[in-house]
C-alpha cells in the first residue's frame, strides 16, 4: 500500500477539533494555526466510498505550539504523547455519494454498525482494526477536497476514482491504526476475501464460484477484473497448495515496496509462513469465520429471497446486507521480518453497511446475469478466439494436483523476475526513500 504523494507534496494541514466526548484522548488537536502546522494529512489511498490519509506530525513544532498556549488551555492529553499517538494512525474520511441512487453512509453510521453489528458477529474486536471516531473541522474537509481536485488534475489519482470528493457536510472521520508496513521491518498485504462460500443461487454442478463467475463475465465485458484474488475459495480449500497459490498471487498483486530486497532473498520462507498461517494457523480461523458468516447470513441468495411470496422480511434483508459486507471487506496481513510466522498480524477493515434499494437491484441483476449467461456452469457463449476463464478452484480438482504445483512454480519464476527488476531499479527516485 504505497503512499501516492511524497510528504513534501502534502499541502493539507489538519485542523481536527474536539471529539464528541471531551474526555477523549485527542482534545482540540490543531485548533490553533501553530498547532495545525505540526499536523499534516497525507493522502494514502482511496476506495469508492472513502479517502484514507496518513497523519504526519512534527513533534518539535507541536511542542512549540503547545508552549505558546496559555497555561490554562494546556490540559489533559494536550502534550507530546498525543502527537506521538496519532502519527501511528490513519484518518478515513467519507466521500460524497457519486449518484443520486447511492445512499450516503456517514462515519457515525459506519462506526455504529461496526460496534453494534460487526463486532458481535465476529465475537468481539480481536480481528477489527482498532479505530475511534473523531470530529473533523469543516475546513479540513474543504482543504482535502481542494487537494483531491489538484491531484486529479495532475493525474495522481486512480482513474476509477476521479471526480469523487469528500462529503462536505460530514462532521466526523475515523482514526484507525495504520496497517501499512514499515520498510525494513514489516510489509503488509491486503486482499478482499469476497465470496468464500458458494452462491446459494448457483447450481450444484457449478464450475465457477461467485467471485470467479463474475470475473469471467466482466472479463468478457472488458471491465476490471474482480479484486486481486483469483479464486478466494482456494484460501479455504482442503490442500495447502491451493492456499499457497492464492497467497503467492496476492503477494505479487500487492507489489511489495521495491526497496524491500529482503523479499527477493526470502520469498520461499515468506510464502511458506503465510501458507501455514492461512492454511492451518490463525489466518485460517478468520477466513473460516468469514466463510461461515457469509453462508449462515445468506442461505437463500437474492434471487430466491426476492421470489418469495411477500418478498424479503426485514431480518432477511439485514442478514443479506451483512453477508454482503463480509464478502466485500478487506483483510490486512502484516508480516514482521524478524518474527516470521509468530509475528503475522491480521485485521479486517472496510466493514461498512451496504444500504439502499439500488444495491439490491444490482445484486439481483448480477446473479441473474451469471445464471442465465451460463457463467456459473462454464457454458457461457464466448466470442471466437476467446479463452475460457478456468481459474476457479471448482473447475480444477480440489485434491493436490500437478496443475497447482506447476502453476506455483511458474508464478514463483514470474515473481522473482518482478523482484529482480525492482531490485535493479532501487536507486531510482521511486525507491530512494527505502
Instruction: Return residues touching ligand ATP (CB under 6 A).
Output: 1, 44-50, 52, 90, 92, 129, 176-180, 190, 330, 349-350, 352
Q: Which stretch binds ligand 5MY (CB under 6 A): 41-49, 291-299, 307-315, 404-412?
A: 41-49
**CB-CB contact of 79 with 35 (8 Å):** no
Question: Minimum Å distance from CB 329 to ligand 5MY?
Answer: 9
Question: Minimum Å distance from CB 197 to ligand 5MY?
Answer: 14
In SS3 terms, 235-303 reads as HHCCCHHHHHHHHHHHHHHHCCCCCCHHHHHHHHHHHHHHHHHHHCCHHHHHHHHHHHHHHHHCCCHHH
Q: How many angstroms separate the CA atoms of 97 and 206, rounded?
A: 36
Residue bearing cell 530512494: 432
For ligand 5MY, the binding residues in 328-387 under the rule CB under 6 A are: 328, 354, 359
Closer CB to ligand ATP, 192 or 266, in the complex: 192
- Among ligand 5MY, ligand ATP, none, partner that 324 touches (CB below 5 to 8 angstroms by kind): ligand 5MY
Closer CB to ligand ATP, 244 or 354, in the complex: 354
Question: Minimum Å distance from CB 241 to ligand ATP?
Answer: 28
Question: Radius of gyration (Cα) for the chain, nearest Å?
Answer: 23
**CB-CB contact of 393 with 399 (8 Å):** no
Q: Which stretch binds ligand 5MY (CB under 6 A): 42-50, 128-136, 337-345, 376-384?
A: 42-50
Grid coordinates representing 368 are 441473474
Question: Minimum Å distance from CB 384 to ligand 5MY?
Answer: 27
Closer CB to ligand ATP, 293 or 329, in the complex: 329
* Sheet of strand 330-336: strand arrangement: 186-191, 330-336, 345-349
Question: Minimum Å distance from CB 352 to ligand 5MY?
Answer: 7
Q: How many angstroms separate the CA atoms of 65 and 36, rounded?
A: 9
Name the β-bridge partners of 134. Answer: 173
State yes or no: residue 219 binds ligand 5MY (CB under 6 A). Answer: no
The 8-class DSSP code of residue 73 comes to: G
* Sheet of strand 131-135: strand arrangement: 39-46, 50-57, 89-94, 172-177, 131-135
- Among ligand 5MY, ligand ATP, none, partner that 227 touches (CB below 5 to 8 angstroms by kind): ligand 5MY
Question: Minimum Å distance from CB 319 to ligand ATP?
Answer: 20
Q: Please identify which residue in 2, 7, 11, 48 interacts with ligand 5MY, judged by CB under 6 A.
A: 48
What is the contact surface with ligand 5MY in residues (CB under 6 A)?
Answer: 47-49, 192, 214, 226-227, 324, 328, 354, 359
Amino acid at each position: 500500500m504505497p503512499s501516492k504523494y511524497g510528504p513534501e507534496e502534502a499541502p493539507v494541514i489538519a485542523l481536527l477539533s474536539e471529539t464528541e466526548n471531551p474526555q477523549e484522548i485527542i482534545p482540540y488537536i490543531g485548533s490553533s494555526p501553530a498547532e495545525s502546522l505540526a499536523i499534516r494529512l497525507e493522502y494514502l489511498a482511496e476506495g469508492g466510498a472513502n479517502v484514507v490519509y496518513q497523519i504526519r506530525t512534527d513533534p518539535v513544532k507541536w511542542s512549540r505550539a503547545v508552549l505558546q498556549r496559555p497555561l490554562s488551555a494546556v490540559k489533559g492529553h494536550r502534550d507530546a504523547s498525543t502527537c506521538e499517538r496519532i502519527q501511528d494512525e490513519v484518518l478515513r474520511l467519507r466521500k460524497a455519494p457519486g449518484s443520486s441512487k447511492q445512499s450516503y453512509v456517514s462515519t457515525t453510521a459506519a462506526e455504529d454498525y461496526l460496534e453494534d453489528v460487526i463486532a458481535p458477529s465476529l465475537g468481539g474486536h480481536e480481528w477489527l482494526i482498532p479505530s475511534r471516531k473523531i470530529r473533523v473541522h469543516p475546513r479540513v474537509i474543504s482543504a482535502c477536497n481542494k487537494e483531491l481536485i489538484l491531484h486529479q488534475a495532475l493525474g495522481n489519482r486512480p482513474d476509477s476514482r476521479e471526480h469523487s470528493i469528500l462529503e462536505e457536510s460530514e462532521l466526523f472521520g475515523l482514526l484507525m491504526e495504520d496497517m501499512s508496513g514499515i520498510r525494513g521491518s514489516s510489509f503488509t498485504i491486503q486482499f478482499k476475501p469476497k465470496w468464500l462460500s458458494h452462491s446459494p443461487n448457483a447450481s450444484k454442478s457449478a464450475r465457477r464460484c461467485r467471485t470467479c463467475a463474475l470475473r469471467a463475465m466482466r472479463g468478457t465485458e472488458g471491465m476490471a477484473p474482480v479484486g486481486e484474488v483469483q479464486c478466494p475459495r482456494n484460501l479455504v480449500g482442503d490442500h495447502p497448495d491451493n492456499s499457497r497459490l492464492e497467497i503467492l498471487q496476492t503477494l505479487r498483486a500487492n507489489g511489495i515496496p521495491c526497496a524491500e530486497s529482503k523479499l527477493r532473498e526470502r520469498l520461499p520462507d515468506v510464502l511458506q509462513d503465510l501458507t501455514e498461517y492461512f492454511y492451518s494457523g490463525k489466518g485460517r480461523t478468520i477466513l473460516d469465520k468469514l466463510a461461515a458468516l457469509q453462508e449462515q447470513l445468506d442461505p437463500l441468495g437474492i434471487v430466491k429471497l426476492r421470489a418469495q411470496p411477500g418478498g424479503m422480511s426485514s431480518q432477511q434483508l439485514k442478514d443479506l446486507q451483512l453477508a454482503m459486507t463480509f464478502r466485500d471487506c478487506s483483510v490486512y496481513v502484516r508480516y514482521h521480518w524478524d518474527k516470521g510466522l509468530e509475528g503475522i498480524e491480521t485485521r479486517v477493515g472496510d466493514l461498512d453497511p451496504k444500504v439502499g434499494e439500488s444495491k439490491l437491484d444490482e445484486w439481483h441483476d448480477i446473479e441473474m446475469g451469471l445464471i442465465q449467461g451460463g457463467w456459473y456452469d462454464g457454458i457461457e457463449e464466448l466470442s471466437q478466439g476467446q479463452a475460457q476463464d478456468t481459474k476457479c478452484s471448482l473447475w480444477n480438482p480440489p485434491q493436490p494436483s500437478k496443475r497447482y504445483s506447476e502453476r506455483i512454480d511458474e508464478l514463483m519464476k514470474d515473481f522473482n523476475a518482478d523482484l529482480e527488476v525492482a531490485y535493479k531499479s532501487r536507486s531510482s527516485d521511486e525507491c530512494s526513500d527505502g
